[in-house]
């Protein structure tokens, strides 16, 4: 019987997904560490003391920049690498030392890596034949996977006669026919063009819901991670930075790295300090030494935020504001303590929206505006901050000062 799990994301409920594959696997990593010898005899730590749990039927997006340890973590799970320290458990069974073939998982790589001399049918069936499945079972599984992935008309073709998207579907189908409890996806869409990538991403999410198999999806694309993941595990330098739902990671980043990495464009980060004045709390940005101090740059913190940060008055902080938390106006009118004067350096239009790059006393801010609004380079503007939705960080450690 499938074990009930916590609802990770309001729009998904793992218990209500169709159970085409009744085998699911809870993944537990405890203090997982992997070290490699460097070229000069030094030790390179690719994964450092990693601890996380992936619930039954969950799709976890493992995201971070190149070299952060994502693929190494996947290879450790698959048994292609042995950990230096720590424990891996899948479905309640310790996996340290267990050969890859005995781990009840399937891995899909960035390249489809199909057998060029075999038809689509034979590529899909190859793993089942190796496992000595009967001919009737192989045919049933292959045709079911082909129907699920829209490959029914391609079974007799060779890989060279397929499009890039079709080849990737075959690679996915080769994993699906095995009906594993755990899927490992290692940047499976990075070789596709933008339009096909978007289509395949939607298909993968729909496939995951139908199969209900535990899935770990590795990507360096933070937008893709937010679109596919029930939760995000953000990594940097082999260390887990934050593990939470996409919206929580976006709205409440755990540290400066997550704030700057998640979001496109990323969060605006402005160094400064908190100042108590006349029974109120203000954020004062770090000002250029060649400019005289000015009170016009103070931003007032309203309650309850001011009360939560009152003890930090006089301390350095970094203010974080998403582009949509700052509004630009060309009327140059507004309330003191909520806005700054600035100059538009350049504009970026995506069609549905516009991003303004605005210089305000040495700080370069990215501000989101509607595409129908009219802004030009070198245009003076006033930017208004939604201070109740901003985030504050401790500069020395980079950690967020307030927890959600």
Interval 347-361: pLDDT, tens? 988 877 889 999 987
**b or e along 193-215 (b: 16 or more beta carbons within 10 Å of the residue's beta carbon)?**
eeeebeebbebbbebbbebbbbb
**In this model, does residue 172 exceed pLDDT 80?**
yes
The DSSP-derived string for 20-52 is SS-----EEEEEEEEEEE-TTS-EEEEEEEEEE
DSSP H helices, 150-236, are: 164-176, 194-211, 222-228
pTM of this structure:
0.85
- The 10s digit of each residue's pLDDT in 104-148 is 898 988 888 899 999 999 999 998 988 888 999 999 999 988 888
- The 10s digit of each residue's pLDDT in 150-171 is 888 999 999 999 988 889 889 9
Helix (H), strand (E) counts: the chain: 9, 20
pLDDT at 160: 93
DSSP label at residue 264: T
pLDDT at 317: 96
What is the arithmetic mean of pLDDT over 325-347?
Answer: 78
pLDDT at 291: 52
| Angstrom distances, CA of residue 152 to CA of 111, 121, 147 | 22, 9, 5
Give the residue, 85 or 18, on which the prediction is more confident.
Answer: 85
Q: What is the mean pLDDT of the chain?
A: 86
pLDDT at 184: 94
pLDDT at 53: 96
pLDDT at 333: 60
Residue range 268-393 in CATH 3.40.50.360: no
Closest CA to 21 of 175, 127, 176: 176
**Residues ≥6 apart with Cβ < 8 Å to 229:** 59, 60, 61, 63, 217, 246
Report the percentage of the chain scoring pLDDT > 70. 90
- The 10s digit of each residue's pLDDT in 198-247 is 888 888 888 888 888 899 999 999 999 999 999 999 999 999 999 999 99
pLDDT at 198: 84
**Residues ≥6 apart with Cβ < 8 Å to 195:** none
**C-alpha angle 278/282/283, rounded to 5°?**
160
**In this model, does residue 17 exceed pLDDT 80?**
no
Closest CA to 91 of 211, 7, 5, 182: 182
DSSP label at residue 189: T
pLDDT at 149: 84
17-261 has which fold? Rossmann fold (3.40.50)
Q: Six-digit token pair at 221?
A: 């694309």
Neighbours of 267 (CB within 10 A): 24
Give the residue, 178 or 258, on which the prediction is more confident.
Answer: 258
- The 10s digit of each residue's pLDDT in 248-302 is 999 999 999 999 999 989 999 999 999 998 889 999 988 754 454 555 678 999 8
pLDDT at 212: 84
> 16-30, 41-55, 370-384: which has the highest mean pLDDT?
41-55
CB 60 within 8 A of CB 33: no
Q: What is the chain's alpha carbon radius of gyration, rounded to the nearest angstrom?
A: 25
Give the residue, 363 or 126, on which the prediction is more confident.
Answer: 126
CB 220 within 8 A of CB 233: no
- The 10s digit of each residue's pLDDT in 258-272 is 999 999 899 999 999
Confidence of residue 4 (pLDDT cuts 50, 70, 90): very low
**In this model, does residue 7 exceed pLDDT 70?**
no
Name the 3-class secondary structure at 367: strand
Task: List phi, psi (to 5°) of 245.
Answer: -65, 155
Confidence of residue 330 (pLDDT cuts 50, 70, 90): confident
What is the arithmetic mean of pLDDT over 311-338?
Answer: 83
Give the residue, 5 or 228, on which the prediction is more confident.
Answer: 228
Domain limits, the chain: 17-261, 268-393
**In this model, does residue 181 exceed pLDDT 50?**
yes
Confidence of residue 70 (pLDDT cuts 50, 70, 90): very high
**In this model, does residue 337 exceed pLDDT 70?**
no
CB 366 within 8 A of CB 221: no
Name the 3-class secondary structure at 403: coil
**In this model, does residue 365 exceed pLDDT 90?**
yes
Q: How far apart are CA 32 and CA 51, in angstroms?
A: 6
What is the arithmetic mean of pLDDT over 58-84?
Answer: 94
Q: Six-digit token pair at 330?
A: 């060309």
């Amino acid at each position: 019987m499938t074990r009930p799990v916590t609802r990770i994301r309001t729009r998904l409920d793992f218990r209500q997904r169709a159970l085409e594959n009744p085998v699911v696997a809870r993944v537990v990593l405890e203090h997982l560490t992997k070290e490699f010898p460097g070229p000069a005899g030094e030790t390179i730590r690719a994964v450092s003391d990693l601890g996380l749990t992936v619930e039954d039927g969950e799709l976890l997006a493992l995201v971070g920049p190149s070299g952060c340890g994502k693929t190494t973590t996947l290879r450790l799970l698959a048994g292609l690498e042995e950990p230096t320290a720590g424990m891996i458990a899948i479905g309640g069974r310790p996996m340290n030392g267990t050969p890859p073939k005995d781990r009840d998982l399937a891995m899909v790589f960035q390249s489809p890596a199909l057998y060029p001399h075999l038809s689509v049918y034979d590529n899909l069936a190859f793993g089942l034949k190796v496992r000595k499945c009967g001919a009737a079972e192989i045919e049933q599984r292959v045709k079911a996977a082909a129907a699920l992935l829209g490959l029914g008309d391609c079974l007799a073709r060779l890989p060279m006669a397929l499009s890039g998207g079709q080849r990737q579907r075959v690679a996915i189908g080769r994993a699906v026919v095995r009906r594993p409890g755990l899927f490992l996806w290692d940047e499976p869409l990075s070789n596709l063009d933008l339009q096909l990538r978007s289509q395949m991403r939607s298909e993968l999410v729909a496939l995951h819901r139908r199969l209900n198999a535990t899935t770990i999806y590795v990507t360096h694309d933070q937008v893709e991670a937010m679109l596919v993941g029930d939760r995000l595990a953000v990594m940097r330098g082999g260390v887990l930075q934050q593990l939470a739902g996409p919206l929580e990671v976006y709205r409440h980043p755990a540290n400066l790295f997550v704030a700057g990495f998640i979001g496109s464009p990323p969060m605006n980060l402005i160094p400064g300090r908190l100042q108590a004045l006349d029974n109120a709390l203000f954020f004062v940005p770090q000002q250029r030494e060649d400019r005289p101090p000015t009170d016009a740059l103070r931003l007032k913190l309203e309650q309850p935020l001011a009360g939560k940060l009152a003890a930090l008055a006089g301390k350095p902080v970094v203010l974080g504001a998403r582009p949509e938390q700052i509004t630009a106006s060309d009327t140059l009118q507004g309330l003191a303590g909520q806005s700054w004067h600035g100059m538009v350096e350049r504009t970026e239009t995506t069609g549905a929206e516009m991003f303004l790059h605005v210089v305000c006393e040495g700080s370069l801010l990215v501000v989101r505006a509607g595409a129908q609004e009219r802004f030009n380079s070198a245009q003076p503007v006033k930017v208004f901050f939604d201070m109740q939705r901003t985030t504050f960080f401790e500069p020395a450690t980079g950690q967020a000062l307030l927890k959600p």
